[in-house]
Structure 1
Amino acid sequence: MAAERTNVSNDLIWQLTRNQNAYLVRRNAGGGSQLSRDPLNLVNKHSFKYAGYTNNKAIGVHGNEEGGVTVITKKPGSSQQPAKAEVKVNYGPKTATRKIYKGVADLTAKNGYRADLREEAVARVSAIRRSQKPKKETPAPKLRGAKARKAEQEE
């Protein structure tokens, strides 16, 4: 038996779920801002444009435990089969950052797949890669004058 396809628009789904859903996070600080924990939301902003659960086409970018990046896209024609709806592309920790940028840009450009999210997706990859770099150790500042003499006396 073939699965029935429903003709529910993305706008209707958003209107029904925008005030209450599992991904919504409300904060009183910052003027009562609303954020989203949706894995397919690039900027974690609670809005129709970025909501991955309502749009047929959505993109998510996440960091791996190994230090790489995972890009998740949603197939537009499989809204009734959520397990088959996501396509994951993994980039390893040794993959060049520019190659990941190009891969993400190509994913958003193919066949008109959410080109409006290209800039946010590349920015998310950039932020993840920057956070994965080891932090440089800054040397302790060299003490001068009275503080240096006091430190010498204590030793």
Structure 2
Amino acid sequence: MKKLLSLSIITLIIVAAASCGGSSDSEKTTEATTESTASTDSGNPSYDPHRGEGKFTSVDLSPTLDVAKAELGNQVSQVKCSSCHKLTDEKLVGPGWAGVTTRRKPEWIMNFITNTDVMIDKDPEVQAQLELCLVRMPNQNLSDEDARNLLEFMRQNDGVK
């Protein structure tokens, strides 16, 4: 009976890890940003908690929603995100998405989507969220275009028209 229980638990862990999609090869990271020696609010040298860590230093958003991008972002969300995130503020596996575009700058969101592992390691608020959710978000290996579409979908979810 103990062998069956152990085998069931191991199988469940393997299936859960495989269903998250994408590889989490920690050797792959996006382009590094220029390092500075100044300390920031987070206490990490060269880390900007307002834009995160990654190649996006500026994301130009139109005041109105790009509906075509939002629809493409919805498709990405359904495949890569909806098994762990709800569109409300309710936690599923990860936190809900409601209000994320009002709490975070677009650069931070884009850097987190495309540079997940580094952001989890450096951002104190992401680390605090990890303590609540208990599951590290896997790197979904999304392209910059997919990430931008996903951002537009998040804006739509937050009521941008």
Range class of TM-score, shorter chain = under 0.3
**Larger relative CO (CA 8 A, sep 6+): 1 or 2?**
2
Q: Which has the higher strand share?
A: 1
Pick the structure with greater CA Rg. 1
Which one has a larger percent helix, Structure 1 or Structure 2? Answer: 2
- If the length of structure 1 is used for normalisation, what is the TM-score? 0.23
